Amino acid sequence: MTRYIIRRILWFIPVLLAIVMATFVFVRAIPGGPFDFVGDKSLPPSVVANLKAKYHLNEPVWKQFARYLYDVVIKQDLGPSYRYRGRTVNEIIRDALPISTQLGLLSLLLGLAIGLPAGIIAALKQNTAIDYGSTFVAILGVSIPNIVLGPLLIWIFALKLNWFPVARWGAQAPFFLGFLPVPNLTFWKYAILPTITLGTGLSASIARLTRASLLQTIREDYIRTARAKGLAERVVIVRHALKNSMIPVVTILGPMFAMVVTGTFTTEQIFGIPGLGKHFVTSVGNRDYPVVVGTTLLYSVFLVIANLLVDITYAWLDPRIRYD
């Protein structure tokens, strides 16, 4: 197992390198540069030339890339932002990531708390009213995008009923352990609507997948064997079926985790949450090269680590899976 993990971690290096290189080169190939406009005004060519020289943008791309790699690997420095003058990418991530992580983790917890039980119950009561009802709700849940659910919740619960604030986030740095907020009333008041917005889709996909997977598992031979040797139904389901059926669910949890924890543009945008999500989108439009590459790298690191954890979990869920 240890050897497997080491091999996988070594495999991260070429994958991350390729992602960074592709992003690095590609974002520079997009027509237009980071200093074309300041607001609506364009800068004089001499100023642009100076800025480009300052950030080494007049060098050949391979040289820029080598410099970038050196900074990232040796100094853990993702470079300066071109758009937010005086701020580094490290600072942007440090300020915005914890907020995205809070929202992402809450949503994921909500997704699991609703999705898993709903999927399990639906599968165990297949073709009953409970099954049809929860399956219908789950399909409805995956069919409502955040850009519809968010405004809908705001309209009902913030504008009409006035229960929750319309926007913003109720926690500020410094955070406990770097990302945990003080869970006071203000925090929850701001967190509930965005968490539901982001968590509904997650819980619906988790429920659907759990149901489908559990249905397949309980038809397996080893379940029949477990029943035949007289195990109690509860033991058969919990110990034999459930654990095994979690494999596809865990598989989607990996990418899901990476995506929601590093920030989702739409939910943060709709609720005006100062998370990392917007930087993924606006930095490309601004040609803020270091922010584009830095956020992409951050997301990719989350993704490969999450996927590794997923694969390690497999071995625990299904004893037939071994890594040697």
Cβ 177 vs Cβ 212: under 8 Å = no
Write the single-letter amino acid at 307. N
3-class DSSP state of 42: strand
Residue linked to tokens 């080169």: 25
Least Å distance, CB 181 to another protein, is 26
Least Å distance, CB 174 to another protein, is 29
Q: To which H or E segment does residue 25 belong?
A: helix 2-29
Least Å distance, CB 19 to another protein, is 6
Least Å distance, CB 137 to another protein, is 12
Residue linked to tokens 């699991």: 112
Instruction: Considering only the stretches 91-99, 191-199, 276-284, 315-323, report the one whose residues sit in contact with another protein under the rule CB under 8 A.
Output: 276-284
Which one among 215, 252, 305, 312 touches another protein, defined by CB under 8 A? Answer: 215
3-class DSSP state of 38: strand
Least Å distance, CB 41 to another protein, is 19
Question: What whole-number distance in Å separates Cα of residue 169 and Cα of residue 191?
Answer: 7
Nearer to another protein, 181 or 200 (CB): 200
Comparing CA positions, the residue from 212, 294, 199 lying closest to residue 251 is: 212
Question: What whole-number distance in Å separates Cα of residue 319 and Cα of residue 322?
Answer: 7
Q: Per CB under 8 A, does 61 bind another protein?
A: no
Which one among 139, 180, 182, 232 touches another protein, defined by CB under 8 A? Answer: 139
Q: Per CB under 8 A, does 299 bind another protein?
A: yes
The contacts of residue 19 (CB under 8 Å, 6+ apart) are 296, 297, 300
Instruction: Considering only the stretches 65-73, 85-93, 138-146, 170-178, report the one whose residues sit in contact with another protein under the rule CB under 8 A.
Output: 138-146
Q: Per CB under 8 A, does 18 bind another protein?
A: yes
Cβ 207 vs Cβ 122: under 8 Å = yes
Comparing CA positions, the residue from 53, 82, 84, 56 lying closest to residue 70 is: 56
Residue linked to tokens 């865990």: 250
Residues 217-236 that bind another protein (CB under 8 A): 219
Least Å distance, CB 265 to another protein, is 6
3-class DSSP state of 40: coil
Which one among 104, 108, 300, 306 touches another protein, defined by CB under 8 A? Answer: 300
Q: Per CB under 8 A, does 105 bind another protein?
A: no
Q: Per CB under 8 A, does 266 bind another protein?
A: yes
The contacts of residue 261 (CB under 8 Å, 6+ apart) are 100, 101, 104, 105, 108, 302
Q: Per CB under 8 A, does 292 bind another protein?
A: yes
Write the single-letter amino acid at 172. Q
Q: Per CB under 8 A, does 275 bind another protein?
A: no
> Length of the chain, please?
324
Question: What whole-number distance in Å separates Cα of residue 89 and Cα of residue 313?
Answer: 33
Residues 150-169 that bind another protein (CB under 8 A): 150-152, 154-155, 159, 166
Q: Per CB under 8 A, does 312 bind another protein?
A: no
The contacts of residue 176 (CB under 8 Å, 6+ apart) are 182
Binding residues for another protein, rule CB under 8 A, total 48
Least Å distance, CB 39 to another protein, is 18
Residues 115-134 that bind another protein (CB under 8 A): 126-127
Contact residues for another protein (CB under 8 A)?
A: 15, 18-19, 22-23, 26-27, 29-32, 126-127, 136, 139-140, 142-145, 147-148, 150-152, 154-155, 159, 166, 212, 215-216, 219, 265-266, 269-270, 280-281, 284-285, 292, 296, 299-300, 303-304, 307
